[in-house]
Chain A
Protein backbone atom coordinates (compact mmCIF):
# COMPACT_ATOMS: atom_id res chain seq x y z
CA UNK A 1 0.00 0.00 0.00
CA UNK A 2 2.82 2.37 0.87
CA UNK A 3 4.44 1.55 -2.47
CA UNK A 4 1.31 2.30 -4.33
CA UNK A 5 1.04 5.64 -2.55
CA UNK A 6 4.63 6.50 -3.49
CA UNK A 7 4.11 5.58 -7.10
CA UNK A 8 1.01 7.75 -7.19
CA UNK A 9 2.90 10.74 -5.88
CA UNK A 10 5.76 10.13 -8.33
CA UNK A 11 3.41 10.02 -11.29
CA UNK A 12 1.74 13.15 -10.00
CA UNK A 13 5.14 14.86 -9.84
CA UNK A 14 5.90 13.86 -13.41
CA UNK A 15 2.54 15.12 -14.55
CA UNK A 16 3.13 18.41 -12.81
CA UNK A 17 6.49 18.81 -14.60
CA UNK A 18 4.91 18.17 -17.98
CA UNK A 19 2.03 20.54 -17.38
CA UNK A 20 4.27 23.10 -15.61
CA UNK A 21 1.86 23.61 -12.72
CA UNK A 22 3.32 24.37 -9.32
CA UNK A 23 3.92 21.08 -7.58
CA UNK A 24 2.85 22.32 -4.19
CA UNK A 25 -0.71 22.85 -5.44
CA UNK A 26 -1.07 19.30 -6.78
CA UNK A 27 0.37 17.74 -3.69
CA UNK A 28 -1.00 19.94 -0.92
CA UNK A 29 -3.47 17.47 0.58
CA UNK A 30 -0.89 14.66 0.67
CA UNK A 31 2.36 16.25 1.83
CA UNK A 32 3.86 15.39 5.21
CA UNK A 33 5.09 18.23 7.45
CA UNK A 34 8.76 17.50 6.63
CA UNK A 35 8.11 17.84 2.94
CA UNK A 36 6.32 21.14 3.58
CA UNK A 37 9.46 22.55 5.16
CA UNK A 38 11.64 21.55 2.19
CA UNK A 39 9.06 23.01 -0.18
CA UNK A 40 8.99 26.35 1.54
CA UNK A 41 12.69 27.14 1.35
CA UNK A 42 13.75 26.72 -2.27
CA UNK A 43 13.05 27.78 -5.87
CA UNK A 44 10.70 25.81 -8.19
CA UNK A 45 13.49 23.85 -9.86
CA UNK A 46 14.97 22.88 -6.58
CA UNK A 47 11.62 22.01 -5.14
CA UNK A 48 11.39 19.27 -7.72
CA UNK A 49 14.78 17.86 -6.84
CA UNK A 50 14.15 18.10 -3.12
CA UNK A 51 10.82 16.54 -3.59
CA UNK A 52 12.42 13.56 -5.23
CA UNK A 53 15.04 13.25 -2.52
CA UNK A 54 12.42 13.46 0.16
CA UNK A 55 10.39 10.82 -1.58
CA UNK A 56 13.35 8.54 -1.92
CA UNK A 57 13.92 8.78 1.78
CA UNK A 58 10.26 8.14 2.45
CA UNK A 59 9.95 5.29 -0.08
CA UNK A 60 9.88 1.76 1.24
CA UNK A 61 12.82 -0.40 0.00
CA UNK A 62 11.90 -2.26 -3.16
CA UNK A 63 10.47 -5.33 -1.55
CA UNK A 64 6.75 -5.39 -2.01
CA UNK A 65 4.38 -6.68 0.65
CA UNK A 66 7.09 -6.93 3.27
CA UNK A 67 5.90 -7.46 6.80
CA UNK A 68 7.65 -6.33 9.94
CA UNK A 69 8.91 -9.87 10.64
CA UNK A 70 10.87 -10.14 7.41
CA UNK A 71 12.21 -6.59 7.88
CA UNK A 72 13.77 -7.52 11.20
CA UNK A 73 15.19 -10.74 9.72
CA UNK A 74 16.79 -8.78 6.90
CA UNK A 75 18.32 -6.38 9.39
CA UNK A 76 19.86 -9.25 11.35
CA UNK A 77 21.23 -10.79 8.17
CA UNK A 78 22.70 -7.48 7.14
CA UNK A 79 24.45 -7.06 10.46
CA UNK A 80 25.82 -10.60 10.28
CA UNK A 81 27.05 -10.11 6.74
CA UNK A 82 28.65 -6.77 7.53
CA UNK A 83 30.36 -8.36 10.53
CA UNK A 84 31.75 -11.14 8.39
CA UNK A 85 32.86 -8.73 5.74
CA UNK A 86 34.68 -6.63 8.28
CA UNK A 87 36.51 -9.63 9.62
CA UNK A 88 37.44 -10.83 6.14
CA UNK A 89 38.55 -7.36 5.20
CA UNK A 90 40.80 -7.06 8.23
CA UNK A 91 42.31 -10.47 7.52
CA UNK A 92 42.92 -9.51 3.92
CA UNK A 93 44.62 -6.33 5.03
CA UNK A 94 46.97 -8.32 7.23
CA UNK A 95 47.61 -10.84 4.48
CA UNK A 96 48.45 -8.15 1.95
CA UNK A 97 52.01 -7.02 1.47
CA UNK A 98 51.42 -3.74 3.30
CA UNK A 99 52.84 -5.11 6.54
CA UNK A 100 55.34 -3.02 8.36
CA UNK A 101 58.85 -4.35 8.76
CA UNK A 102 58.18 -5.22 12.38
CA UNK A 103 55.12 -7.26 11.59
CA UNK A 104 57.03 -9.12 8.88
CA UNK A 105 59.82 -9.91 11.30
CA UNK A 106 57.34 -11.06 13.89
CA UNK A 107 55.62 -13.37 11.42
CA UNK A 108 58.94 -14.71 10.24
CA UNK A 109 60.06 -15.28 13.80
CA UNK A 110 56.97 -17.25 14.58
CA UNK A 111 57.64 -19.61 11.71
CA UNK A 112 61.19 -20.00 12.92
CA UNK A 113 63.64 -17.86 11.04
CA UNK A 114 65.02 -14.34 10.89
CA UNK A 115 66.17 -12.55 7.80
CA UNK A 116 69.62 -11.07 8.14
CA UNK A 117 70.06 -9.40 4.82
CA UNK A 118 71.28 -9.94 1.27
CA UNK A 119 74.41 -11.92 0.61
CA UNK A 120 77.45 -9.84 -0.18
CA UNK A 121 80.08 -10.99 -2.66
CA UNK A 122 82.74 -10.54 0.00
CA UNK A 123 81.05 -12.97 2.43
CA UNK A 124 82.82 -16.31 2.52
CA UNK A 125 79.78 -18.19 3.67
CA UNK A 126 80.11 -21.50 1.88
CA UNK A 127 82.56 -23.54 3.92
CA UNK A 128 83.80 -27.10 3.77
CA UNK A 129 81.87 -29.81 5.50
CA UNK A 130 82.09 -29.88 9.29
CA UNK A 131 80.98 -32.96 11.23
CA UNK A 132 78.25 -31.15 13.17
CA UNK A 133 74.52 -31.55 12.87
CA UNK A 134 71.48 -29.68 14.16
CA UNK A 135 67.78 -30.48 14.26
CA UNK A 136 65.99 -27.37 13.08
CA UNK A 137 62.28 -26.57 12.86
CA UNK A 138 60.74 -24.34 10.17
CA UNK A 139 57.01 -23.91 10.31
CA UNK A 140 55.78 -27.37 11.18
CA UNK A 141 58.59 -29.36 9.57
CA UNK A 142 61.80 -30.47 11.26
CA UNK A 143 65.06 -31.30 9.52
CA UNK A 144 68.33 -32.86 10.67
CA UNK A 145 70.75 -30.51 9.05
CA UNK A 146 74.49 -30.27 8.55
CA UNK A 147 76.85 -27.87 6.83
CA UNK A 148 76.35 -27.67 3.06
CA UNK A 149 72.95 -29.41 3.03
CA UNK A 150 69.97 -28.36 0.95
CA UNK A 151 66.47 -28.10 2.36
CA UNK A 152 63.15 -27.55 0.60
CA UNK A 153 60.58 -25.80 2.76
CA UNK A 154 57.24 -24.12 2.14
CA UNK A 155 57.56 -20.71 0.52
CA UNK A 156 59.10 -18.26 3.01
CA UNK A 157 57.42 -14.97 2.41
CA UNK A 158 59.66 -12.20 3.60
CA UNK A 159 62.95 -13.15 2.03
CA UNK A 160 64.33 -12.87 -1.47
CA UNK A 161 66.78 -15.08 -3.37
CA UNK A 162 70.37 -14.71 -2.15
CA UNK A 163 69.33 -13.63 1.35
CA UNK A 164 70.99 -14.77 4.52
CA UNK A 165 68.75 -16.28 7.16
CA UNK A 166 69.19 -17.34 10.76
CA UNK A 167 67.03 -20.26 11.78
CA UNK A 168 66.52 -19.82 15.47
CA UNK A 169 64.28 -22.78 16.34
CA UNK A 170 66.98 -25.36 17.04
CA UNK A 171 65.90 -28.49 18.88
CA UNK A 172 69.12 -30.46 19.06
CA UNK A 173 72.80 -30.07 18.33
CA UNK A 174 75.35 -32.76 17.87
CA UNK A 175 78.99 -33.23 17.00
CA UNK A 176 81.39 -36.19 16.95
CA UNK A 177 81.79 -36.26 20.73
CA UNK A 178 78.95 -34.15 22.15
CA UNK A 179 75.15 -34.01 21.89
CA UNK A 180 73.04 -31.15 23.25
CA UNK A 181 69.31 -31.74 23.53
CA UNK A 182 66.98 -28.76 23.90
CA UNK A 183 63.86 -28.61 26.02
CA UNK A 184 62.28 -27.97 23.57
CA UNK A 185 64.47 -25.25 22.02
CA UNK A 186 68.12 -24.36 22.52
CA UNK A 187 68.11 -20.64 23.10
CA UNK A 188 71.71 -19.85 22.21
CA UNK A 189 71.99 -21.99 19.12
CA UNK A 190 71.73 -20.57 15.61
CA UNK A 191 71.80 -22.10 12.16
CA UNK A 192 72.75 -19.89 9.25
CA UNK A 193 71.30 -20.51 5.83
CA UNK A 194 71.15 -18.86 2.42
CA UNK A 195 68.04 -18.75 0.22
CA UNK A 196 68.88 -20.35 -3.09
CA UNK A 197 65.60 -20.56 -4.93
CA UNK A 198 61.88 -19.78 -4.81
CA UNK A 199 60.30 -22.21 -7.24
CA UNK A 200 57.20 -24.23 -7.98
CA UNK A 201 57.07 -27.96 -7.49
CA UNK A 202 56.03 -30.31 -10.28
CA UNK A 203 52.32 -30.34 -11.04
CA UNK A 204 50.21 -32.78 -9.08
CA UNK A 205 46.87 -33.70 -10.61
CA UNK A 206 44.06 -34.15 -8.10
CA UNK A 207 41.50 -36.41 -9.65
CA UNK A 208 38.18 -37.11 -7.99
CA UNK A 209 35.72 -39.64 -9.21
CA UNK A 210 32.59 -41.26 -7.87
CA UNK A 211 31.76 -44.29 -9.91
CA UNK A 212 28.38 -44.72 -11.52
CA UNK A 213 27.42 -41.22 -10.35
CA UNK A 214 28.62 -39.21 -13.32
CA UNK A 215 31.04 -37.23 -11.13
CA UNK A 216 34.60 -36.54 -12.24
CA UNK A 217 36.82 -33.60 -11.34
CA UNK A 218 40.40 -32.78 -12.28
CA UNK A 219 42.45 -30.13 -10.51
CA UNK A 220 46.13 -29.24 -10.95
CA UNK A 221 48.29 -28.07 -8.06
CA UNK A 222 51.84 -26.73 -7.89
CA UNK A 223 53.25 -26.13 -4.45
CA UNK A 224 55.49 -23.10 -3.91
CA UNK A 225 58.79 -24.08 -2.34
CA UNK A 226 61.93 -22.38 -1.07
CA UNK A 227 65.32 -24.02 -1.33
CA UNK A 228 67.71 -23.20 1.50
CA UNK A 229 71.38 -24.07 1.71
CA UNK A 230 72.72 -24.49 5.23
CA UNK A 231 76.03 -22.72 5.71
CA UNK A 232 76.86 -22.66 9.40
CA UNK A 233 75.82 -24.17 12.72
CA UNK A 234 76.64 -22.27 15.91
CA UNK A 235 76.21 -23.23 19.51
CA UNK A 236 78.36 -26.32 19.81
CA UNK A 237 82.10 -26.95 19.96
CA UNK A 238 83.31 -28.15 16.63
CA UNK A 239 86.38 -30.34 16.88
CA UNK A 240 89.47 -29.31 14.94
CA UNK A 241 90.62 -32.02 12.60
CA UNK A 242 93.13 -34.05 14.71
CA UNK A 243 93.79 -36.69 12.06
CA UNK A 244 97.38 -36.61 10.67
CA UNK A 245 97.28 -34.81 7.35
CA UNK A 246 98.74 -36.67 4.35
CA UNK A 247 102.29 -35.43 3.59
CA UNK A 248 102.35 -32.49 1.23
CA UNK A 249 104.33 -32.50 -2.02
CA UNK A 250 107.13 -30.36 -0.58
CA UNK A 251 107.61 -32.72 2.33
CA UNK A 252 107.64 -35.66 -0.06
CA UNK A 253 110.25 -33.97 -2.23
CA UNK A 254 112.40 -33.26 0.86
CA UNK A 255 112.15 -36.88 1.96
CA UNK A 256 113.24 -38.07 -1.47
CA UNK A 257 116.17 -35.72 -1.48
CA UNK A 258 117.13 -36.87 2.02
CA UNK A 259 116.89 -40.53 0.93
CA UNK A 260 119.05 -39.95 -2.13
CA UNK A 261 121.64 -38.05 -0.15
Chain B
Protein backbone atom coordinates (compact mmCIF):
# COMPACT_ATOMS: atom_id res chain seq x y z
CA UNK B 1 0.00 0.00 0.00
CA UNK B 2 1.17 3.52 -0.43
CA UNK B 3 -0.10 6.87 0.68
CA UNK B 4 0.78 9.50 -1.92
CA UNK B 5 3.56 7.29 -3.20
CA UNK B 6 4.98 6.33 0.20
CA UNK B 7 4.84 2.62 1.08
CA UNK B 8 3.03 2.05 4.36
CA UNK B 9 4.20 -1.43 5.29
CA UNK B 10 7.66 -1.10 6.79
CA UNK B 11 8.49 -4.55 8.12
CA UNK B 12 7.15 -8.07 7.69
CA UNK B 13 8.05 -10.69 10.29
CA UNK B 14 7.61 -14.31 9.25
CA UNK B 15 7.64 -16.43 12.40
CA UNK B 16 7.46 -20.19 11.99
CA UNK B 17 8.23 -23.41 13.83
CA UNK B 18 10.76 -26.02 12.77
CA UNK B 19 8.95 -28.99 14.20
CA UNK B 20 5.22 -28.32 14.12
CA UNK B 21 2.93 -29.53 11.34
CA UNK B 22 0.91 -26.33 11.21
CA UNK B 23 4.05 -24.59 9.91
CA UNK B 24 4.39 -26.85 6.89
CA UNK B 25 2.81 -24.37 4.54
CA UNK B 26 4.86 -21.45 5.72
CA UNK B 27 8.05 -23.46 5.54
CA UNK B 28 7.27 -24.36 1.95
CA UNK B 29 6.42 -20.70 1.31
CA UNK B 30 9.79 -19.66 2.69
CA UNK B 31 11.60 -22.03 0.36
CA UNK B 32 9.65 -21.39 -2.80
CA UNK B 33 7.92 -18.03 -2.88
CA UNK B 34 9.50 -15.80 -0.24
CA UNK B 35 12.61 -14.90 -2.30
CA UNK B 36 10.45 -13.75 -5.21
CA UNK B 37 8.28 -11.74 -2.81
CA UNK B 38 11.33 -10.05 -1.32
CA UNK B 39 12.65 -9.19 -4.76
CA UNK B 40 9.39 -7.62 -5.84
CA UNK B 41 9.30 -5.43 -2.73
CA UNK B 42 12.74 -3.90 -2.16
CA UNK B 43 11.29 -1.25 0.13
CA UNK B 44 10.06 -3.89 2.57
CA UNK B 45 12.19 -5.31 5.38
CA UNK B 46 11.37 -9.03 5.68
CA UNK B 47 12.62 -10.91 8.76
CA UNK B 48 12.26 -14.65 9.37
CA UNK B 49 11.99 -15.72 12.98
CA UNK B 50 12.11 -19.21 14.45
CA UNK B 51 9.46 -19.55 17.14
CA UNK B 52 9.37 -23.14 18.33
CA UNK B 53 6.21 -24.55 19.77
CA UNK B 54 3.94 -21.85 18.37
CA UNK B 55 1.73 -21.63 15.34
CA UNK B 56 3.16 -19.69 12.40
CA UNK B 57 2.46 -15.98 12.14
CA UNK B 58 2.85 -13.13 9.69
CA UNK B 59 3.32 -9.79 11.46
CA UNK B 60 3.12 -6.55 9.55
CA UNK B 61 4.42 -3.27 10.98
CA UNK B 62 3.00 -0.13 9.39
CA UNK B 63 4.06 3.48 9.35
CA UNK B 64 1.10 4.57 11.46
CA UNK B 65 2.57 2.34 14.23
CA UNK B 66 -0.11 -0.25 13.66
CA UNK B 67 0.70 -3.98 13.87
CA UNK B 68 -1.33 -6.56 11.98
CA UNK B 69 -0.83 -10.14 13.05
CA UNK B 70 -2.17 -12.93 10.84
CA UNK B 71 -2.02 -16.56 11.95
CA UNK B 72 -1.24 -18.77 8.96
CA UNK B 73 -1.48 -22.17 10.62
CA UNK B 74 -2.34 -25.09 8.36
CA UNK B 75 -2.41 -22.92 5.24
CA UNK B 76 -0.94 -23.86 1.88
CA UNK B 77 1.91 -21.89 0.29
CA UNK B 78 -0.44 -20.04 -2.05
CA UNK B 79 -2.66 -19.00 0.87
CA UNK B 80 0.35 -17.74 2.81
CA UNK B 81 1.46 -15.77 -0.23
CA UNK B 82 -2.01 -14.29 -0.52
CA UNK B 83 -1.92 -13.24 3.16
CA UNK B 84 1.49 -11.66 2.73
CA UNK B 85 0.32 -9.82 -0.39
CA UNK B 86 -2.75 -8.55 1.46
CA UNK B 87 -0.58 -7.16 4.26
CA UNK B 88 1.65 -5.50 1.72
CA UNK B 89 -1.27 -4.06 -0.25
CA UNK B 90 -3.08 -2.47 2.65
CA UNK B 91 -2.56 0.64 4.72
CA UNK B 92 -2.30 0.15 8.42
CA UNK B 93 -5.77 1.57 9.00
CA UNK B 94 -8.16 -0.02 11.42
CA UNK B 95 -10.71 -2.06 9.47
CA UNK B 96 -13.89 -0.06 9.84
CA UNK B 97 -17.05 0.02 7.83
CA UNK B 98 -16.74 2.62 5.07
CA UNK B 99 -18.90 5.69 5.62
CA UNK B 100 -18.66 6.88 2.03
CA UNK B 101 -16.91 5.62 -1.03
CA UNK B 102 -15.77 9.11 -1.98
CA UNK B 103 -13.59 11.02 0.44
CA UNK B 104 -12.92 14.66 -0.47
CA UNK B 105 -11.89 17.90 1.17
CA UNK B 106 -13.45 20.14 -1.49
CA UNK B 107 -16.95 18.82 -2.15
CA UNK B 108 -18.06 21.66 -4.38
CA UNK B 109 -16.39 23.41 -7.31
CA UNK B 110 -19.12 25.67 -8.63
CA UNK B 111 -20.83 26.30 -5.32
CA UNK B 112 -23.14 24.04 -3.30
CA UNK B 113 -26.66 23.77 -4.67
CA UNK B 114 -29.58 25.02 -2.62
CA UNK B 115 -33.24 25.53 -3.35
CA UNK B 116 -32.87 29.31 -3.69
CA UNK B 117 -30.03 29.04 -6.23
CA UNK B 118 -31.01 30.75 -9.46
CA UNK B 119 -29.05 29.94 -12.62
CA UNK B 120 -28.89 32.82 -15.10
CA UNK B 121 -29.97 31.66 -18.57
A residues neighboring B (CB under 8 Å): 119, 121, 125-126, 129, 131-133, 141, 143-146, 148-153, 161-162, 174-176, 179, 194, 196-204, 225, 227, 229
Q: Which residues of A contact B32 (CB under 8 A)?
A: none
B43 closest partner in A (C-beta)? A162
> How far does the Cβ of B83 sit from chain A's closest Cβ, in whole Å?
11
Q: Give the contact stretch, choosing among B14-22, B48-56, B98-106.
A: B98-106
Residues of chain B within 8 A of A119, CB atoms compared: 2, 5
Residues of B within 8 A of A133 (CB): 109-110
How many residues on chain B are close to A (CB under 8 Å)?
23
Q: Are A150 and B104 in contact (CB under 8 A)?
A: yes
Q: A148-B105, A161-B89, A202-B95 are in contact. Are A197 and B1 (CB under 8 A)?
A: yes
Q: Which residues of A contact B7 (CB under 8 A)?
A: 162
A-chain residues with CB within 8 Å of residue B3 when the two chains form the complex: 196
- Identify 18 new A-B residue pairs, CB closer than 8 A, beyond the known A152-B101, A162-B2: A119-B5, A121-B5, A129-B106, A132-B109, A145-B102, A146-B106, A149-B102, A150-B103, A151-B102, A176-B109, A197-B89, A197-B90, A197-B91, A199-B90, A201-B95, A204-B97, A225-B98, A229-B4
The A contact surface, by secondary structure, is strand
B109 touches A199 (CB 8 A): no
* Contact assessment for A199 and B1 in the assembled complex, using a CB-CB cutoff below 8 Å: yes
20 contacts between A and B (CB under 8 A): A131-B106, A132-B109, A141-B101, A143-B102, A149-B102, A150-B102, A151-B102, A161-B89, A176-B110, A197-B89, A197-B90, A197-B91, A198-B1, A198-B89, A199-B86, A199-B89, A199-B90, A201-B97, A201-B98, A202-B98
- Quick one: which of B1, B3, B7, B97 has the most chain A CB within 10 A? B1
Decide: A196 and B104 in contact? CB cutoff 8 A: no
Cβ–Cβ < 8 Å partners of A141 in chain B: 101
Complex Cα distance, B1 from A126, in Å, reads 16
